[in-house]
Structure 1
């Protein structure tokens, strides 16, 4: 049960990472449109660059978490298959 909760936590981590990635990609774009209209060019470019950088970082971290999640899941699936074989052999 604890392993399943940890797997659920990992899965949620990379799902939310992808959602935050999209959020940090879209939100600065919308905010910079208003800042450009107000004449705040320097702040707009700074916010846009920071938002895109954060988006990329969240995306890369989510890919890493997703890869780790699937690797662990496949390893345990192999272990459970071997355990089932051992149980059948013992009967």
Structure 2
């Protein structure tokens, strides 16, 4: 049960990482467009750069979490298959 909760937490972590990645990509673009209209070019470029950097960082972290999640899931699937074989052999 605890393992399943940890797996659920890992899965949610990479799902939310992808959502935050999109959010940090879109939101600064919209804010920067408004700032460009107001003539605040320096702040707009700073916001775009920071937003895109954060978007890339969240995307890379989510990819790593997803890879780790699937590796652990695959390893435990093999262990559960071996346990099923041992149970069938014992019956």
Measured against the shorter chain, the TM-score band is over 0.9
Task: Name the counterpart of 2:47.
Answer: 47
* CA distance in 2 between partners of 1:24 and 1:40 (Å): 20
| SS in structure 2 of the partner of residue 71 of structure 1 | helix
What 5-or-longer segments of structure 2 have no aligned partner?
none
Compute the displacement of 1:87 (Å).
1.1
Task: Name the counterpart of 1:6.
Answer: 6
Compute the displacement of 1:70 (Å).
0.5
* CA distance in 2 between partners of 1:26 and 1:75 (Å): 37
List structure 1 runs of 4+ shifted beyond 6 angstroms.
Answer: none
Give the TM-score normalised by structure 1.
0.98
Give the TM-score normalised by structure 2.
0.98
Compute the displacement of 1:51 (Å).
0.1
* CA distance in 1 between partners of 2:15 and 2:46 (Å): 27
Output one character per residue of 1:42-82: Cα deviation in whole Å (capped at 9) or x when no partner: 11000000000000000000000000000000100000000
Alpha-carbon RMSD: 0.5
